[in-house]
Structure 1
Amino acid sequence: MDLFRIPIEQIHGVGAAKKDDLHALGVYTVGQLLEYYPFRYEDYSLSDLSGVKDGDKITVVGTIVSIPVLQRYGRGKSRLSCKVVIDHFFVTSVWFNQVFLKEKLELQSEVVLTGKWDGRRKQITVSETEFPGRSAAGTSKVGTLQPVYSISAEMSQKWMRKVIAQALKQYGAMIQEVLPQELVRRHDLMVRREAVAAIHQPERMDEGQHARRRMVYEELLLFQLKMNALRAMNRRRADGLAQAVDLPAVRAFVRGLPFVLTKSQKDVIAEILADMQAPYAMNRLLQGDVGAGKTVVAAAALYATVKAGYQGALMAPTEILAEQHMRSLEKMFEPLGVTVGLLTGSTTERQRREMLGSMQMGMVDVVVGTHALIQDDVHFRQLGLVVTDEQHRFGVAQRAVLRRKGMNPDVLMMTATPIPRTLAITAFGDLDVSTLRELPKGRQPIKTYAVKHDMLDRVLGFIKREADGGRQSYVICPLIEESEKLDVQNAIDVFVQLQSHFPDLRIGLLHGRMSAAEKDEAMRSFKEGAVHVLVSTTVVEVGVDVPNATLMVVYDADRFGLSQLHQLRGRVGRGKHASYCILIADPKTEVGKERMRAMTDTTDGFEIARRDLELRGPGDFFGTKQSGLPEFRIADLMADFEVMEVARDDASQLVSSSEFWTDVAYLSLREYLQREGVLDGNVLD
């Protein structure tokens, strides 16, 4: 019987109210409950006071040697204390708001205390109390490891442990193995039934760790199996466009550029062209640091699709970025007779009608646009390649709509957020990932300084010197307007202050509450040089190229993630002049200080991303809504990365072997893929 089909209320002790509490945690079946793993254990092993440190959580056995004293204070608050002899030490034991214990703390009786140790005061602040001999048999925690679960306020750890213990008692014998014996033996793993029991009820810490290792491997193997099978199914279907790429023409295009491509760019173009010639639909992510030259790579791919007789589309998240891409492509394509069109929300009705007609008749080769490209009345004659810039700004559904504008066209997604390999093989396990590692020659190195708020006058002097030299500055603030809760700079106040401080300079303002038209106008004025200093929130961070901007000032820089700071820094250093980034911060936390250190230590986006990931964890690194990261029940992307690599290699070998698809030893894994819909022929995105 499938444990994932047995409702949670079949467990003895789970009534209507508790059923609803478990449903709120996403637990509806017995199988889901048994896979609701603890995130840590409380260790109730007896502690030796001579070896513990201040602040440690300890469990000790002692004898009560003084009458308990009860003090009441505040509304309903109390402090209970008495002396206890532990290992020949006199220790003060303190309980807060536990009046009911006063009658139980009898002189010369034995007591087990768990709580926080204060060595200077020789005091333990007690959180849990047991009375040996007076507790029900089998309820003592002394010498045990107790699992700790992520639960809601309506539940208690005690009840959660109890209901999982009951589930194991009723259904533990029905837990089925999902891994083939070959992998269990190869990696010295616990069998599944033992591992599930041991992860919830370990007798020793090493047993809990051994059980966790088994379940982490299983979870990551199943994930990687799904990714590899999706990719294999995608390629096996062979219903993409096998584009007849004119390699000599693409080489001539590259030779005609006014700059030399890096080796990295050439390698990535070769990978993309090989995909385009294959009979399956390309699904490739192109990641590269700020300024690594992704647009040129996309241009080579778009040129290849046009020469093969198809049309290309490039979707950007904002109008100003779409216009920038259009101008870049026009400059490269015009001498070659390739036509480029633009379709955004600002396109007039007449221009739009003309553009839609040209696209449908194939009179325009490459169309650059925003979300306007995915509206219902937009049709291509024959779409061969879809490029999305800053791919995380578009949802899967939006990309899928653009893909459906053609007959399974090739897809290239670009991102300027360097993703450490740790995450790339996880978040994008079903994609091919190309990485631009080098920066093109001529990119200005950006000098980065971290300064405290008391140096603001010198920073303002720096802004004035750059303006006097005919150059421009960005000033970034974490908030739009003043907040009662946060003592940080806001864009509106800084805008007013700078207007007052620099009456002879033109100051611009850009923030998220402005309309799309207002934002575009603010950015356009800055780009065209009509504004000396642009005060902004982080809406400025993506993509727009202002070669004359040489100074990036970030207020309260410790409030930003490292990758975000690096993106902001990448807005300058795009022209021929020396460029600078000044981070103003008085970090109070170690994480804040580490961010400032990392930014001044390196300008390598991949190193920055690695350190950001260490400081923030994968969820915050991407932002939960746009991450596309799977939410693992037990695996940790950073801590378990080596297991992830092993699981990926194992999954790759399995999927590419004929035995996997036929041998009974792999039946449970094939059934898993069937349940997940992988074998139904879904198109990847």
Structure 2
Amino acid sequence: MRCESKLRAAFALTKSVTSAGIDGSLNPGERASVPTLLDHPIETLPGIGPATGAHLRKRGYESVGDLLWLLPRGYDDQRRPAPIHTLQDGDYVVVEGVVRRARSFPRGGRMGFEARIEPMDETSEHDGYRELKLVWFQSIPGLARRFVEGETVRVAGRVHDYRGTATIAHPETLAADTPGAIEPRYPEIPGVRRKTLRRAVRAAVDRAVAEVPDLIPPALRAEVGVGAVGEALAAIHVPDPATFDEESEAEQPTPAHGRLALEELVLWELALRSRRASERGGVARPFEIEPAVQSACGAFPFELTEAQQRAVTEVSGALTSETPMRRLLQGDVGCGKTAVAMVACAQVAAGAAQTVFLAPTELLADQHADTLRPTAEELGLRLGVFTGALSKDQRRSMLDRMATGAVDVILGTHALLSGEVRFADLGLVIVDEQHRFGVAQRLRLGTRGSTRRPHLLVMTATPIPRSLALVLYAGLELTTIDAKPPGRVPATTKMISRAQRAPVFRQIERALEAEGRAFVVCPAISSSDELVGVDRVFDEMTAQFGGGRVGQIHGRLPGEERRALMQAFREGELQVLVGTTVLEVGVDVPAANIIVVEQAERFGLAQLHQLRGRVGRAGQRSACLLTFGEPLSTEAEARLQVLCDTDDGFRLAERDFELRGPGHLFGYRQSGASGLQFANPARDRALLKRAGDLADRIIGVDPDLSAPEHAPARAAVERWERNAAVREDAG
């Protein structure tokens, strides 16, 4: 992973790590009552006055400690000037030369400034550029004194070829008589000059980095040979010139980044052990297998596959125990996980207990209700839906039914996590698509309304390797459905440049002529310079196919309107539905036989595979068209090609995990909710094991983390548990 892209996500850790070492740790209000240098206001740093401080505070940087976690995107090596004739378009360079011409010029009511410098050795003959143009579109006081004809100057910046001339706009001026340095390149913050930001961060490092607390106590760090987090931060902000290698820094994680990765993996392991410890001693309701399971298996209008039957056996067996079931049910798109979950609901209902079925969106909750209602009626199960779209009277009625036991299976969204919800006897919690619900949310739901603990079944259509699943899913037992129902024909998947709209329109038209339906998925609701939005594509499709055949759906629409649109689409009143990734998970329209994903390069492999799973669900031939913007990077092209080559969700998930890490795999949006911004469990398996060993040693001597040396770890785990809920992504 490149250094720049890896560090871009680090801002999510800013506040929490500053206080106790990593995501989930103390915030300033939870730290010891005596303020530290980390707590000092940002304005106490050199060069940060009220105006600059206001710009930084807008971005969440309020204290000296906050600024320590503004990590560089990369580095600019200013030690070795590049000859002018070797300059290449797009390169960041340091150049030394002689000023040959300099002048001010008017520009839009303001004065600009430009200077041209040439090599100091005029006798040398080379191919390439013979001069470098420096331009300031808004003149800075003092430029005319610095750039005097005949004087030697040193500048730094990114080169652009403008009409055959090497040009640097707004270059940084360096002292020509002092050696250059390795300068960190920080994310741009509007209103804050680059030099000012670098100077302030360096001051924060010098002043306060030693006070950054660690999760691993000093004695254990010394024993196992691990440095302090503060030392790692200092090495990232101020790399050692003797060991710095720009190419190596860009391609491989440095030891300092490895130290931060270890710190967050230790937190992850400590938090998971805390969860398991909190559940020890809990007792669940045991539920008999027969006759409910056999009856439920026979109630479906299809025969369960062998893989589904194996899953039913594992889940139903776990439900017979007084030990609360904590199980992950994973399988590829369309493998039939919902049917297995429904059998579990029947088993629990036969014991006079209730099941909550959590779905990631209102759309999916309503669809599950429509799909499951006939089977529920066949089994005599009372089904209810509880979402944020209910009217006040409907909400009051459902709350009463849940509290009195008048409903057996409750399908709903995060609305079920509100404090007013009570259950008569909650026996089972099913979470559909784990990546949409955080650990804290599941635990909060799982302890409400009953003195016993409910069983928990987590379902995901993003299969991952078993060794990693057991770590990332907090020690849940694993059940895998490794085969799809017979008759499913893989969708034909193709890549098409977005500039070529005619082939896309033709394929949609052919799909509609076959009495099909077309999904069109966009990365955003509103179009921008970079993103193709629902608004723009809806207009395109309407112009091509007619307004009466095209609809649009996204998270800003009221729930009632979304449900009406889906119903119209399902019944054929609408034939083309343009939307966001609100369509990603579980939407079931059997007639859908084509899906177009606009700017597919902006989606992860696992997410694209989920989207592709929306078509061909009735066994018909189907197509998935991946449109892309040009130019397409080599990595993006390779990623999309993998999707074109295989329909195997396990292979795709493994590849996505390797390419983009667990955050993208589980749908996190740079929010820090995964707790893994530096570590990549697919790559760092040895580091993961080491983190587990360290966590075991810490817990082994202090199970409650009550010792003073474990205070940062205890605070980190507590906050991790509070903040583990992943932000709902309604599209």
Q: TM-score range by the shorter chain?
A: 0.7 to 0.9
Distance 1:242 1:462 in 2: 54
Distance 2:714 2:189 in 1: 33
Letter in 1 for 2:541: V
Distance 1:482 1:364 in 2: 40
Letter in 2 for 1:77: G
Specify the alignment match of 1:230 in structure 2.
Answer: 274
Note closer, same or farther for the CA distance 1:684–1:251 as it changes in structure 2 (3 Å cut): farther
Unpaired runs of 5+ in structure 2? 1-33, 726-731
Specify the alignment match of 1:462 in structure 2.
Answer: 510
Report the TM-score when normalising by structure 1: 0.77
- Structure showing greater relative contact order (alpha-carbon pairs closer than 8 Å, 6 or more residues apart): 2
Equivalent pairs, count: 658
Contact in 2 for aligned 1:338/1:365 (Cα 8 Å): no
Letter in 2 for 1:149: Y
Contact in 1 for aligned 2:538/2:550 (Cα 8 Å): no
Q: Give SS of 1:85's match.
A: coil
Distance 2:374 2:441 in 1: 28
Distance 2:723 2:96 in 1: 62
Contact in 2 for aligned 1:179/1:218 (Cα 8 Å): no
User: How far 1:95 sits from its partner (Å)?
Assistant: 1.8
Distance 1:287 1:627 in 2: 24
Deviates more, 1:414-423 or 1:96-105: 414-423
How is 1:190-205 mapped onto 2 (pairs within 5 angstroms)? 190=227, 194-204=231-241
| Aligned partner of 1:78 among 113, 133, 155 | 113
Does structure 1 residue 341 correspond to structure 2 residue 375? no
Q: Give SS of 1:206's match.
A: coil
User: How far 1:387 sits from its partner (Å)?
Assistant: 1.8
Distance 2:397 2:226 in 1: 64
When the two chains are superposed, the root-mean-square deviation of aligned CA atoms in Å is 4.9
Note closer, same or farther for the CA distance 1:71–1:434 as it changes in structure 2 (3 Å cut): farther
Note closer, same or farther for the CA distance 1:348–1:150 as it changes in structure 2 (3 Å cut): closer
Distance 1:88 1:182 in 2: 63
Identity level (%): 28
Letter in 2 for 1:642: R
Q: Give SS of 1:224's match.
A: helix
**Could you list the per-position Cα deviations for residues 501-522 of structure 1 after superposition, in whole angstroms to 9, with x for gaps in the alignment?**
xxxxx83634236543343233
Contact in 2 for aligned 1:234/1:683 (Cα 8 Å): no
Specify the alignment match of 1:39 in structure 2.
Answer: 73
Distance 2:175 2:537 in 1: 57
Letter in 2 for 1:243: R
**Could you list the per-position Cα deviations for residues 131-155 of structure 1 after superposition, in whole angstroms to 9, with x for gaps in the alignment?**
445xxxxxx4x34212233352333
Specify the alignment match of 1:366 in structure 2.
Answer: 409
Letter in 2 for 1:78: F
Distance 2:670 2:381 in 1: 33
Letter in 2 for 1:494: M
Does structure 1 residue 674 correspond to structure 2 residue 675? no
Distance 1:681 1:563 in 2: 26
Note closer, same or farther for the CA distance 1:418–1:433 as it changes in structure 2 (3 Å cut): same
Distance 1:158 1:648 in 2: 38
| Aligned partner of 1:92 among 131, 146, 159 | 131
Deviates more, 1:261-270 or 1:421-430: 421-430
Note closer, same or farther for the CA distance 1:174–1:347 as it changes in structure 2 (3 Å cut): closer
Distance 1:113 1:352 in 2: 66
Contact in 1 for aligned 2:438/2:724 (Cα 8 Å): no
Q: Give SS of 1:81's match.
A: strand
Letter in 2 for 1:82: I
User: How far 1:571 sits from its partner (Å)?
Assistant: 1.8
Q: Give SS of 1:574's match.
A: coil
Letter in 2 for 1:676: A
Q: Give SS of 1:242's match.
A: coil
Does structure 1 residue 294 correspond to structure 2 residue 337? yes
**Could you list the per-position Cα deviations for residues 32-56 of structure 1 after superposition, in whole angstroms to 9, with x for gaps in the alignment?**
4444433322111214649956133
Contact in 2 for aligned 1:329/1:340 (Cα 8 Å): no
Specify the alignment match of 2:489 in structure 1.
Answer: 444
Letter in 2 for 1:572: V
Report the TM-score when normalising by structure 2: 0.73
Distance 2:338 2:704 in 1: 49
User: How far 1:668 sits from its partner (Å)?
Assistant: 6.8
User: How far 1:613 sits from its partner (Å)?
Assistant: 6.8
Contact in 2 for aligned 1:176/1:193 (Cα 8 Å): yes
Note closer, same or farther for the CA distance 1:598–1:659 as it changes in structure 2 (3 Å cut): closer
Note closer, same or farther for the CA distance 1:450–1:340 as it changes in structure 2 (3 Å cut): same
Contact in 2 for aligned 1:234/1:684 (Cα 8 Å): no
Distance 1:183 1:293 in 2: 48
Specify the alignment match of 2:616 in structure 1.
Answer: 573
Distance 1:204 1:11 in 2: 28
User: How far 1:181 sits from its partner (Å)?
Assistant: 6.6
Does structure 1 residue 54 correspond to structure 2 residue 88? yes
Q: Give SS of 1:155's match.
A: coil
Note closer, same or farther for the CA distance 1:603–1:317 as it changes in structure 2 (3 Å cut): same
**Could you list the per-position Cα deviations for residues 216-271 of structure 1 after superposition, in whole angstroms to 9, with x for gaps in the alignment?**
234323432442333233233x23x3332435657645864642434477358626
Distance 1:183 1:26 in 2: 33
Distance 1:519 1:387 in 2: 24
Specify the alignment match of 1:642 in structure 2.
Answer: 683
Q: Give SS of 2:134's match.
A: strand
Specify the alignment match of 2:501 in structure 1.
Answer: 453
Deviates more, 1:670-679 or 1:555-564: 555-564
